[in-house]
Amino acid sequence: MTSPERVYSVIERSLVKLGKSDIMILCLELSQKAIERVLKKLADEGKIVKVGAGKSTTYADVKRL
């Protein structure tokens, strides 16, 4: 499973919005920088939505909104 697939599957299965730190705990095999790159890519592709800004930023699957 690629990094984007792994992060997307974690967000897709979650019933709540996840912060970057939550995703880091659930994807221990990925570095912080890799997760940040993947989150930006998924948001740019329209698969996830970024909610909030700064430390309170969370991410959710667009299908859940």
Average the pLDDT over 2-15 and give the result.
97
Q: 24-63: b or e for each residue (b if 16 or more CB lie within 10 Å)?
A: bebbeebeeebbeebbeebeeeebbbeeeeeeeebbbbee
Statement: residue 15 has pLDDT above 90: yes
Amino acid 65: pLDDT: 81
Q: How confident is the model at residue 64 (pLDDT cuts 50, 70, 90)?
A: confident
pLDDT tens-digit map of 22-53: 999 999 999 999 999 999 999 999 999 999 99
